[in-house]
């Protein structure tokens, strides 16, 4: 790694000047008026407008930037608003009552409006200076880089080895050139309604082209996560008629190997963005179309591989639908769906080996975690949530006595129920079971008792039919524990 890094320095920046010699194209500023871009001011978040106005009144440049401008141009309501400014983080912080400087390597300010669940964050970043490639590649997320390696990058670090490079402020045109796609690199001033565009973003938006700023292969090398972002935006914007510019798309496959250097945690986060921002099905289509169906991240490979299986497909579609309806989505739910097949296989195998139903399930889950998500084992909450969803499944079969009351009071009941509902939707379990729980979970105690009585009556009449004349007696728990395989009649796995 050190050798590689030194090679890179020697190759690209002898004496620290080669990067300067290959000056990038910072584009040409175009001030595009409303008559051309047609952004509907009603779609612009009031709080973002407030942030921009406050900064401008204090004498700074400030604009709505990035994805929000892209979405506004396309007539979409942006899901969040970022602001870019010439003010430093300290200067921004001083202007707002509730503003927090976040991050070290990449310092930004969160300006917070409202409280509790309703609170809204406007992310404010200072215009950043253009980085030469060597610095960019280091800063882009290669966390394996040691402090001493970084210390060699005089412009990128301070005396303690901390990466400063990404906190070097610069003019707006340099900030624009650092961004990824031309349609993501525009600045909107809500006061004058002018869009500032350096790289032909407006033209590309009109032509429905997703184009990387600069040389695509170089930009993927600087930050390989841009490969994944290309897929994400291609998927998101495909319904609007967008496609990747050929020069942006061509180096994707060859660049994919660079992802090996990206920290697993960052890849995992990007995978979740692919799957959870409302375009999961379209993303899988793009991954296949672009030749990236495997190799980005092991779990993602599995998602793509299983995307056409009814249960996984239903989970992906459900996720897309929830996002479209503005409902929250949890990664645990989708991942639990994708890995459900492995859990069921391991569970069945153990039950066949005469292990009791519940420990068999726990052991099967452990096995799946070991095999499939070892690399995100740091994500305790995610794994715990997935386990809870799975462990709840056999409990849905117990609908007598106090068991249903206990289950419905579980904090994660809803996720477990939604999962079970999906199993019913694809015919894995009886639809009537899902209906029963839907009713039980939403009604009053009187009706709940009635529902439990109904199940008891049904079970009684089934037992009578099976053994005419015999009195239906509940099977002792002791017996169940000894003969787990018999429980399979109840547990439709």
Pairing of strands 209-210, 194-197: unpaired
Return the number of the residue (69 or 135) whose C-beta is nearest Mg ion.
Answer: 69
Report, in Å, the least distance between residue 61 CB and ligand ATP.
Answer: 17
From candidates 166, 180, 204, 388, binder to ligand ATP by CB under 6 A: 180
Q: What is the pattern of x (binds ligand ATP, CB under 6 A) and - over residues 227-256?
A: --x---------------------------
Return the number of the residue (260 or 479) whose C-beta is nearest ligand ATP.
Answer: 260
* Residues of this chain, 357-386, that bind ligand ATP according to CB under 6 A: none
Q: Is 223 in the site for ligand ATP (CB under 6 A)?
A: yes
Taking residue 326's Cβ as centre, other Cβ atoms within 10 Å add up to 8
Choose among Mg ion, ligand ATP, none what residue 279 binds, the Cβ cut-off being 5 to 8 Å by kind. Answer: none
Choose among Mg ion, ligand ATP, none what residue 270 binds, the Cβ cut-off being 5 to 8 Å by kind. Answer: none
Helices (DSSP H) in 238-330: which residue ranges? 246-249, 252-255, 264-276, 280-289, 298-306, 310-324
Count residues contacting ligand ATP (CB under 6 A)? Answer: 13
Return the number of the residue (67 or 200) whose C-beta is nearest Mg ion.
Answer: 67
- CA 4 → CA 10, 12, 134, 145, distances in Å? 10, 12, 11, 11
Q: How many residues does the chain have?
A: 493
Return the number of the residue (51 or 373) whose C-beta is nearest ligand ATP.
Answer: 51
Choose among Mg ion, ligand ATP, none what residue 385 binds, the Cβ cut-off being 5 to 8 Å by kind. Answer: none
Report, in Å, the least distance between residue 486 CB and ligand ATP.
Answer: 51
Choose the stretch contacting ligand ATP; rule: CB under 6 A; options: 9-17, 220-228, 251-259, 302-310: 220-228
Choose the stretch contacting ligand ATP; rule: CB under 6 A; options: 177-185, 261-269, 434-442, 445-453: 177-185
Encoded tokens for 325: 């309806």
What are phi and psi for residue 189, nearest 5 degrees? Answer: -100, 110
Report, in Å, the least distance between residue 225 CB and ligand ATP.
Answer: 5
Angle at 187 between CA 167 and CA 178, to 5 degrees: 40
Choose the stretch contacting Mg ion; rule: CB under 5 A; options: 12-20, 62-70, 113-121, 187-195: 62-70
Report, in Å, the least distance between residue 232 CB and ligand ATP.
Answer: 7
Choose the stretch contacting ligand ATP; rule: CB under 6 A; options: 47-55, 223-231, 316-324, 326-334: 223-231
Choose the stretch contacting ligand ATP; rule: CB under 6 A; options: 221-229, 362-370, 452-460, 471-479: 221-229
* Residues of this chain, 78-97, that bind ligand ATP according to CB under 6 A: 79, 82
Nearest to 431 by CA among 416, 421, 441, 443: 421
* 60-90: burial string, b at 16+ Cβ within 10 Å, e else: bbbbbbbbbbbbbbbeeebeebbbbbbbbbe
Asked if 198 and 185 touch (Cβ cutoff 8 Å), the reply is yes
Return the number of the residue (82 or 388) whose C-beta is nearest Mg ion.
Answer: 82
Choose among Mg ion, ligand ATP, none what residue 197 binds, the Cβ cut-off being 5 to 8 Å by kind. Answer: none
Question: Measured at CB, which residue is nearest to ligand ATP?
Answer: 67
* 331-363: burial string, b at 16+ Cβ within 10 Å, e else: bbbbbbbbbbebbbebbeebbeeebbbeebbee
Encoded tokens for 315: 């989970």
Choose among ligand ATP, Mg ion, none what residue 482 binds, the Cβ cut-off being 5 to 8 Å by kind. Answer: none
Report how far residue 35's alpha carbon sits from residue 155's, in angstroms, rounded to the nearest whole number. Answer: 43
Choose the stretch contacting Mg ion; rule: CB under 5 A; options: 59-67, 188-196, 317-325, 370-378: 59-67
Asked if 66 and 123 touch (Cβ cutoff 8 Å), the reply is no
User: What residues act catalytically?
Assistant: 80, 82, 180
Instruction: Name the percent of the chain in helix, strand, coil, to the closest 5.
Output: 60, 10, 30
Choose the stretch contacting Mg ion; rule: CB under 5 A; options: 66-74, 217-225, 286-294, 381-389: 66-74
Report, in Å, the least distance between residue 236 CB and ligand ATP.
Answer: 7
Report, in Å, the least distance between residue 378 CB and Mg ion.
Answer: 25
Nearest to 392 by CA among 437, 443, 352, 435: 437
Report, in Å, the least distance between residue 364 CB and ligand ATP.
Answer: 36
Q: Is 67 in the site for Mg ion (CB under 5 A)?
A: yes
* Residues of this chain, 182-201, that bind ligand ATP according to CB under 6 A: 184-185
Report how far residue 100's alpha carbon sits from residue 363's, in angstroms, rounded to the nearest whole number. Answer: 44
| DSSP E strand stretches across 69-113 | 82-85, 99-102, 108-113
Return the number of the residue (168 or 383) whose C-beta is nearest ligand ATP.
Answer: 168
Report how far residue 173's alpha carbon sits from residue 27's, in angstroms, rounded to the nearest whole number. Answer: 7
Q: Residue 453: is it exposed, middle or buried by C-beta count within 10 angstroms (0-12/13-18/19+)?
A: exposed
The separation between CA 373 and the C-alpha centre of its own chain, rounded to angstroms, equals 16
Choose among ligand ATP, Mg ion, none what residue 361 binds, the Cβ cut-off being 5 to 8 Å by kind. Answer: none
Asked if 480 and 489 touch (Cβ cutoff 8 Å), the reply is no
Return the number of the residue (126 or 355) whose C-beta is nearest ligand ATP.
Answer: 126
Report how far residue 197's alpha carbon sits from residue 218's, in angstroms, rounded to the nearest whole number. Answer: 22
List of residues contacting Mg ion (CB under 5 A): 67
List of residues contacting ligand ATP (CB under 6 A): 66-67, 79, 82, 179-180, 184-185, 223, 225-226, 229, 277
């Amino acid at each position: 790694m050190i050798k590689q890094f030194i090679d890179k320095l020697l190759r690209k920046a002898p004496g620290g000047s080669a990067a300067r010699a290959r000056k990038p194209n910072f584009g040409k500023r175009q001030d595009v008026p409303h008559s051309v871009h047609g952004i509907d001011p009603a779609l612009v978040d009031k709080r973002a407008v407030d942030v921009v106005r406050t900064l401008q009144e204090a004498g700074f440049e400030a604009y709505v930037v990035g994805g929000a401008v892209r979405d506004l141009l396309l007539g979409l309501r942006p899901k969040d608003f970022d602001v870019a400014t010439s003010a430093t983080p300290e200067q921004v912080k001083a202007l707002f009552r509730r503003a927090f400087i976040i991050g070290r390597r990449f310092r930004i300010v969160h300006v917070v409006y409202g409280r509790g669940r309703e609170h809204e964050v406007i992310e404010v970043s200072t215009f950043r200076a253009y980085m030469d490639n060597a610095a960019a590649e280091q800063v882009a997320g290669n966390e394996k880089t040691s402090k001493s390696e970084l210390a060699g990058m005089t412009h990128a670090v301070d005396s303690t080895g901390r990466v400063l490079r990404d906190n070097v402020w610069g003019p707006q045109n340099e900030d624009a050139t650092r961004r990824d796609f031309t349609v993501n690199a525009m600045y909107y001033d809500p006061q004058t309604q002018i869009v500032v565009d350096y790289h032909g973003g407006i033209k590309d938006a009109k032509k429905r082209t997703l184009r990387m700023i600069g040389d695509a292969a170089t930009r993927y090398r600087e930050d390989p996560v841009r490969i994944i972002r290309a897929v994400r935006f291609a998927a998101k914007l495909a319904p609007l008629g967008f496609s990747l510019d050929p020069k942006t798309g061509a180096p994707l496959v060859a660049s994919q190997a660079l992802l090996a250097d990206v920290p697993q945690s960052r890849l995992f986060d990007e995978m979740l963005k692919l799957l959870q921002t409302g375009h999961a099905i379209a993303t899988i289509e793009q991954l296949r179309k672009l030749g990236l169906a495997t190799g980005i991240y092991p779990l993602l490979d599995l998602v793509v591989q299983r995307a056409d299986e009814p249960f996984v497909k239903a989970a992906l579609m459900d996720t897309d639908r929830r996002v479209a309806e503005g409902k929250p989505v949890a990664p645990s739910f989708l991942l639990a769906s994708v890995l459900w097949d492995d859990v069921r296989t391991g569970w069945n195998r153990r039950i066949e080996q005469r292990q009791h139903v519940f420990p068999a399930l726990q052991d099967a889950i452990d096995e799946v975690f070991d095999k499939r998500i070892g690399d995100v084992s740091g994500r305790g909450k995610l794994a715990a949530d997935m386990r809870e969803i799975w462990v709840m499944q056999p409990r849905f079969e117990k609908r007598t006595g106090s068991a249903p009351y206990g289950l419905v009071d579980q904090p994660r009941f809803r996720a477990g129920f939604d999962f079970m509902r999906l199993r019913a939707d694809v015919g894995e379990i009886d639809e009537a079971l899902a209906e029963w729980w839907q009713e039980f979970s939403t009604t009053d105690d009187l009706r709940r008792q009635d529902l439990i009585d109904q199940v008891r009556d049904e079970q009684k009449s089934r037992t009578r039919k099976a053994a005419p004349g015999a009195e239906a007696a509940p099977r002792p728990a002791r017996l169940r524990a000894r003969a787990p395989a018999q429980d399979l009649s109840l547990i439709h796995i």
